[in-house]
Amino acid sequence: MDWLTETILEPTSVQSIIIISVVSAIGIQLGKLKILNISLGSTFVFFVGIILGHFTLEMNKDMLIFAQNFGLILFVYALGLQVGPGFFSSLRKGGLVLNLLSLGIVFVGIILALIFSIISQTSLPNMVGILCGATTNTPALGAAQQALNQITNGDVKAVADMALATAVTYPLGVVGVILAIILLRKFFVPKDAYNVPSEKKDHDTYVGEFHITNPAIEGKSIRDIMKLSPKRFVISRIWRDGKVTIPTSESILQHDDHLLIISIKSDVEHIKVLFGEQENVDWNKEDIDWNHIDNSQLVSRRIIVTRSKVNGVKLGVLRLRNNYGINITRINRVGIDLLPSPDLSLQIGDKLTVVGEKASIDNVAKILGDEEKRLDKPNLIAIFAGIALGLILGALPLPFPGMSFPVKLGIAGGPIIVGILMGAFGPRFRFTTYTTQSANLLMRQFGLTVYLACLGISAGEHFFETVFQTEGLMWIGFGFALTVIPVLIVAILSMKVFKISYAKSVGMLCGSMANPMALNFVNSIIDDDEPSVAYATVYPVAMFARIIFTQMLLMLFF
């Protein structure tokens, strides 16, 4: 058995991989446990690493640092690819207010951390570690460690202490957000609203049948009618004299036509005013067979965009409706239904619901690709090239006024920026950045798990002796304050000043704090999708802001 003893105890790369794998496996399994309906998920890997790090085995430090950095790089780049397509659109319209409030939470936390550091004479790096734990944001910790490493020319102890401060405050960071949500619910939501189910949001795709009785639109083409309406909708089919046709933009509407229209539910009243009365037929039932509803040669089929030449091309440029007599009724992108419009740019992986004659749909499928097997193989060039570009950007020295040395985005800031840009603009330059949801999730979870395992092992050596000292208890107090105070301030501002609903406000809070465990709790008490939508709206910007501004805090004030 000497070979087994040597394999486990000798500080080699093999030993490091074994220990990281064991810590990860145990942590993931424990992360499935729920206490009071709260689960820490993969974060449990961090605490298993701390325990193992406390009962220290001699390990290969270089291997540990490499694995930790590589895990962080993989996670933040995959995160950038995931949020990139919706990153800039989330800054517009209703998302702008939510994102500004989210940034408010970030900045209030940073200001408080600076104040606490000055008042208590706690070193700023340790206070930044406390802030990262209080906001349950390990990617921000990774970025801050890189910045501190640059500032101190590789002070190993300072970097380790920062991780230790995060480990001490992390548990209450999870619980603190949930406590704040409970307090807000108790004092700012009417008691009689507790058990009233939320109304279903009116932004879901809606299919309705309308009977033309408005003489103002008779004899006009669909193109002209669409110009009259500020709303976006799709006329899928026209019933006229017992026959069903697929309209084109040049189709002329007549009195007594029946139209099948796809829109969002909130626009139904507007469509009624435009066309006339709505028929009492429920076209939204799940069991409707769209291939046989009209007893004609028309079929409905879902086509997947897999052809690289179509990637980034606007739907109107393809002229599919006029050239092939088909109608695209909706487009599903990463699980979200979008209404088609001429200005919508297609992306690899988009799923188009197309209605028309079978022969015409077959021709459209050839243009768009519709080869699902192609999507089983993600474009690895985009992954490796993006990581390389991200690290080069992270190493680029950026002069900053008033600072004696240039700022670097580091291994966390550079890759997430390139990932966001690749995800957002890659299709416009015909560069395929598509990865399946499962592939992206695997990249993110693998990278984060490896990073958390290594981080925990590094921080574990002095964890318990720190927690039970005066300094450790003070860190816990500061961490709890940094969790709860920004959340309560911005939440009250959101609900009282901006009149944003409780459901949407708490979803924004969870996204701002990068706290999926708190979101799970919110979803258990609110029967609505508003919290999840708000979470997804602010998460990219908040994550990006924390990664960048924690570094800036150290570089400007340390």
Cβ atoms 75, 454 nearer than 8 A: no
- Which residues sit opposite 234 in a β-bridge? 262
Residue in 134, 157, 152 with CA at minimum distance from that of residue 558: 152
Average pLDDT on 242-268 reads 80
Task: List, in order, residues 6 or more apart from 100 with CB less than 8 Å away.
Answer: none
**CA–CA separation, 251 and 417 (whole Å):** 46
Cβ atoms 196, 245 nearer than 8 A: no
Give the model confidence (pLDDT) of 115-147 as tens digits: 999 999 889 999 999 998 888 777 788 778 877
Yes or no: domain 205-374 corresponds to CATH 3.50.50.60: no
Provide the token pair at 423. 């995800």
DSSP 314: B
pLDDT score of 212 more than 80: yes
pLDDT score of 266 more than 70: yes
**Structure confidence at residue 198 as a pLDDT band (50, 70, 90):** very low
User: CA 353 → CA 64, 331, 436, 514, distances in Å?
Assistant: 48, 6, 19, 34
Give the model confidence (pLDDT) of 462-494 as tens digits: 777 766 777 778 888 999 999 999 999 999 999
Q: How many CB atoms lie within 10 A of CB 423?
A: 28
* pTM score of the predicted model: 0.62
Per-domain residue ranges for the chain?
A: 68-196+382-557, 205-374
Q: When comparing pLDDT for 120 and 199, which is higher?
A: 120
Query: What does the pLDDT read at residue 39?
Result: 59
Provide the token pair at 57. 């085995």
Residue in 466, 422, 460 with CA at minimum distance from that of residue 440: 422
The dihedral formed by the CA atoms of 357, 362, 365 and 367, expressed in degrees to the nearest 10: -100
pLDDT score of 93 more than 60: no
Average pLDDT on 372-381 reads 71
pLDDT score of 289 more than 60: no
pLDDT more than 90, % of the chain:
9
Average pLDDT on 206-227 reads 84
**Structure confidence at residue 532 as a pLDDT band (50, 70, 90):** low
Give the model confidence (pLDDT) of 321-344 as tens digits: 777 777 787 787 755 566 677 877
**Structure confidence at residue 207 as a pLDDT band (50, 70, 90):** confident
Q: Is the sign of the CA dihedral 357, 361, 362, 363 positive or negative?
A: positive
**CA–CA separation, 449 and 67 (whole Å):** 11
User: CA 539 → CA 62, 86, 444, 482, 510, distances in Å?
Assistant: 33, 11, 15, 19, 8
User: CA 435 → CA 302, 306, 309, 350, distances in Å?
Assistant: 19, 12, 17, 12
Average pLDDT on 507-521 reads 78
Averaging pLDDT over each range in 123-127, 225-229, 256-260, 528-532, which range is the top one? 123-127
pLDDT, averaged across the chain = 78
pLDDT score of 413 more than 90: no
Strands (E), 246-383: 258-264, 276-278, 298-304, 327-333, 336-338, 351-357
Average pLDDT on 183-208 reads 61
Quick one: which H or E segment has residue 238?
strand 234-240
